[in-house]
Amino acid sequence: MNSANAIVKTATNLINNIPARNRDILSRRFGLKSGKKETLESIGKSYGITRERVRQIEEFSINQLRKVSDKNQDVEKYVALVKNIIGDNGVIREEELFKSFSGREADSAINFSLVFVLSMNRNLIRFPESDDFYSFWAVSPETLTNFKSTSGSLVDFLEKNKRAVSEDDFVSLIESRGLNNLSGKLDICLSISKNIGKNIFNEIGLVSWPEIKPKGVRDKAFLVLKKSKNPEHFGDITKLINTSGFQGKKANTQTVHNELIKDPRFILVGRGTYALSEWGYKSGTVKDVLVDLIKDSSKSVPKATLISKVLSSRMVKENTILLNLQDSKTFIKNEDGTYSLRKS
């Protein structure tokens, strides 16, 4: 019998040391038979007792079992096995522990029996799922505290950095801030933390950022365009989305175009061609751009300067710019060839 199957027998042998009702409550709370954990409320209803009373029985029974299991060879064997699985990292996400132990990440009587047996030993600490972390195990209370602190430092670092970075750059940035001890735990943090993530381009950031965890077509378009670093036609943006490895159904060209039009993060810079507003592009027509350029200048602007600046923000022909400058209701061409705005 291998370790994965033998663990069920070990768990059964352990709970046989307590009264029948207590045994049943622990079995149902841990999912030892069915592979499904039951709530305090559902167990309480079946016995006609309160949720609090069920919790008290559970806590009392575990404490009693810990006393008799302290030197149990089977328990010590599984603790040693799990410590070997965890290795030098000191922590492991529970799903990954399950996969290493039984070959399955999913809930099962085998995996829950492992949790139960490990709970009999105080040398391993289980941290239940929270808003910030998935369930994980640590080899000691100190390791658990240090890991949580490490993860918090990484989140703080990213919040201050305010942008996603490549994995290599992230490690370099960490080390430049004197946080050398964190770089080796990066993959573990990504596995356990609910706040830190990696996108399809192996860039690291906060999962709340669209470039790390895109929620729809708009965010996917933003991410591929940012990666491209150049304005792209909406048809090409659609192709980039569909070939980048995003999960979910393929993007539709018309849907992508509609989302680009509605989202202020994207600026139309040519016929069907879009850039990101964060690159310095502003919304509006060529005429609007010309007006803004002259408004922002303390004096009239030479034609060559206007043409150069418009071409840097719009994918249009020079003739289009010259045609717009001929609008005498808006622009005045001065004797020296510069342009200013006509006062309204």
The CA distance from 136 to 150, in Å, is 15
**What are 53-91's pLDDT values in tens digits?**
999 999 999 999 998 887 789 999 999 999 999 988 899
| pLDDT, tens only, 6-21 | 999 999 999 998 999 9
Which ranges constitute the DSSP H helices of the chain? 3-15, 20-30, 40-47, 51-69, 73-86, 94-102, 109-119, 141-161, 167-176, 180-183, 186-192, 217-228, 234-243, 253-262, 286-295, 303-313, 318-325
Which one is predicted more confidently, 258 or 71? 258
Query: In this predicted structure, what is the pLDDT of residue 182?
Result: 57
* Spatial separation of the C-alpha atoms in residues 306 and 322, rounded to whole Å: 10
Q: How crowded is the C-beta side of 265, counted as CA atoms within 13 Å?
A: 14
CA distance 79 to 181: 26
Between the CA atoms of 78, 79, 81 and 84, what dihedral angle is there, to the nearest 10 degrees? 170
How confident is residue 314, by pLDDT bands cut at 50, 70 and 90? Answer: confident
CA 64 to chain centre: 40
Mean pLDDT calculated for residue range 192-212: 93
Binning pLDDT at 50, 70 and 90, where does residue 248 land? confident
Residue range 39-51: average pLDDT?
A: 96
Nearest C-alpha neighbor of 321 from the set 311, 331, 329? 311
The architecture that CATH gives domain 286-341 is Orthogonal Bundle (1.10)
How many Cα neighbours within 13 Å face the side chain of 336? Answer: 7
Distance CA 68, CA 254 (A): 67
Give the pTM: 0.76
The Cα–Cα gap between 197 and 266 comes to 24
Q: Comparing C-alpha atoms, which of 114, 102, 53 is closest to residue 78?
A: 114
Estimate to the nearest angstrom the gap between the alpha carbon of 41 and the chain centroid. Answer: 33
Q: Is the pLDDT of residue 183 over 70?
A: no
Token look-up 């199957």 returns: 5
CATH number of 3-85+95-122, picked from 1.10.1040.10, 1.25.40.10, 1.10.3660.10, 1.10.10.10 = 1.10.10.10
More confident of the two residues 312 and 136: 136
C-beta of residue 300 within 8 angstroms of C-beta of residue 294 = yes
Q: Cα 111 to the chain's mean position, in Å?
A: 26
Mean pLDDT of the chain: 90
Q: For residue 313, what pLDDT is reported?
A: 83
Taking 90 as the threshold, does the pLDDT of residue 184 lie above it? no
Structure tokens at 267: 């600026």
Do the Cβ atoms of 313 and 231 come closer than 8 Å?
Answer: no
